[in-house]
């Protein structure tokens, strides 16, 4: 048991000394991993922030239905009945043109202008809340209502949120592609540095193999080396993310104040830290395992 622990300790020490021996060369590898982890993570955080803005607006999305100017009580009644019967409408409120006018008269600054009118120019309106607020569902409902008699126009008030949503989806897909690309770059970096390590230790591997080192024993220092690289890469990625968030927040603060919306990135949660570390270490472990196995197969083709 002690021997087993000692072997792991030795393998780890060896991995460290490998890193220390060529710090500049390995720094490049660590930086590649750091960028591979932090760029998609940073992009996803920005996208999530943007998406949450949209969700705020989509929170209570509603449709506004404007009746035609010449709509009579019967037409209003018909729309009312239709809305009441629909299952995709959660609730609705009817605002007659008189009510609307009264509301405008009560608004300071508008009162004078309104009283100057000789007839009510406002249409009867319905404010409708849908049961399903997904953009597509809202659009279907809008189309259905627009086809009713004497309905002038139905407007989804969350059109911009819809556009944002589309943008967010697009950006997510882009970030997904970026993630895959960078994950491949990271795997390649770990793979090739570990491979180089294995091949340069070729004679030692052959000899230890001959005198009874198991494949696990031989693999160990190289796996540790790969994992160590992943760990350092994760730490560097965390640092980059933190610096990036700070820089972004500083830059966005004035805009945030101007538009009275919170565009600031929150601090990374513990879960996000863990995910970053896990991704870095796990992925580099897999890459180095593959690399070592393939390189060893080349060296010890005999057994």
Partner 1 sequence: MIALNAVVKRYPDGHEALRGVTLDIEDGEMVFITGRSGAGKSTLLRLMSGIERPTSGTISMHGRDITRLSSSALARLRRNIGLVFQDHQLLTDRNVEENAALPLRVAGLYGKELRQRVAIALEKVGLQGQAKASPLALSGGERQRLCIARAIVNRPRLVIADEPTGHLDKGYAHTILDIFKSFHSTGVTVIIAMHDTDSLPLPESRVLGLEDGLVGGDSEAESSEAM
Residues in contact with partner 1 by CB under 8 A are 3-4, 6-7, 10, 203-204, 206-217, 302-303
Widest pairwise Cα distance in the chain = 106
Which CB sits closer to partner 1, 213 or 290?
A: 213
Strands 125-130 vs 62-67: parallel, antiparallel or unpaired: antiparallel
HEC profile of 226-295: HHHHHHHHHHHHHHHHHHHHHHHHHHHHHHHHHHCCCCCCCCCCHHHHHHHHHHHHHHHHHHHHHHHHHH
* Pair 241, 269: CB distance under 8 Å: no
H helix count then E strand count, the chain:
10, 4
Nearest CB to partner 1, comparing residues 14 and 129: 14
Which CB, 9 or 69, lies closer to partner 1?
A: 9
Provide, rounded to whole angstroms, the least separation between the CB of residue 301 and partner 1: 9
Report the residue number, 136 or 203, with the smaller CB distance to partner 1: 203
- Smallest distance, partner 1 to C-beta of residue 303, A: 5
Smaller CB separation from partner 1, 99 or 204: 204
Phi-psi region of 86 (alpha: psi -120 to 50; beta: other; left: phi over 0): beta
Q: In this complex, which beta carbon is closest to partner 1, that of residue 62 or of residue 219?
A: 219
SS3 67: strand
Min dist CB 21 to partner 1, Å, is 12
Q: Taking the complex as a whole, how short is the minimal distance between the CB of residue 27 and partner 1, in angstroms?
A: 24
> At closest approach, how far in Å is the CB of 205 from partner 1?
11
Query: CA 180 to CA 91: how far, in whole Å?
Result: 44
How far is Cα 181 from Cα 286, in angstroms, rounded to an integer? 16
Angle among Cα 252, 258, 259 to the nearest 5 degrees reads: 90
Nearer to partner 1, 246 or 297 (CB): 297
C-alpha 137: how far from its chain's center? 23
| Residue where the block lists tokens 């608004």 | 107
Rounded to the nearest whole angstrom, what is the least distance from the CB of residue 13 to partner 1 in the complex?
Answer: 11
Min dist. Cβ of residue 8 to partner 1 (A):
10
């Amino acid at each position: 048991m002690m021997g087993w622990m000692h072997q792991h300790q030795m393998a780890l020490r060896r991995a460290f000394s490998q890193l220390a021996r060529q710090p500049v060369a390995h720094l490049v590898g660590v930086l590649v991993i750091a960028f591979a982890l932090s760029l998609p993570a940073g992009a996803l955080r920005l996208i999530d922030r943007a998406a949450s803005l949209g969700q705020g607006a989509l929170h209570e999305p509603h449709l506004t239905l404007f009746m035609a100017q010449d709509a009579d009580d019967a037409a209003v009644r018909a729309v009312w009945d239709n809305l009441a019967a629909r299952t995709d409408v959660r609730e609705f409120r009817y605002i007659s043109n008189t009510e609307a006018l009264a509301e405008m008269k009560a608004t300071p600054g508008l009162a004078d202008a309104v009283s100057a009118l000789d007839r009510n120019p406002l249409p009867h309106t319905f404010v409708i809340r849908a049961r399903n607020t997904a953009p597509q569902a809202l659009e279907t409902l809008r189309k259905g209502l627009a086809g009713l008699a004497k309905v002038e126009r139905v407007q989804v008030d969350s059109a911009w949120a819809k556009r944002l949503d589309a943008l967010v989806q697009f950006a997510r897909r882009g970030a997904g592609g970026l993630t895959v690309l960078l994950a491949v770059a990271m795997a390649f970096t770990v793979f090739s540095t570990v491979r180089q390590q294995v091949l340069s230790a070729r004679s030692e591997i052959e000899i230890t193999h001959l005198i009874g080192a198991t494949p696990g024993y031989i693999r160990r220092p190289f796996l540790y080396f790969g994992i160590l690289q992943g760990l350092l890469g994760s730490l560097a990625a965390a640092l980059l993310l933190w610096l990036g968030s700070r820089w972004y927040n500083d830059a966005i603060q004035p805009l945030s104040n101007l538009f009275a919306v919170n565009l600031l990135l929150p601090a990374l949660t513990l879960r996000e830290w863990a995910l970053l570390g896990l991704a870095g270490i796990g992925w580099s472990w897999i890459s180095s395992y593959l690399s070592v196995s393939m390189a060893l197969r080349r060296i010890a083709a005999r057994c």
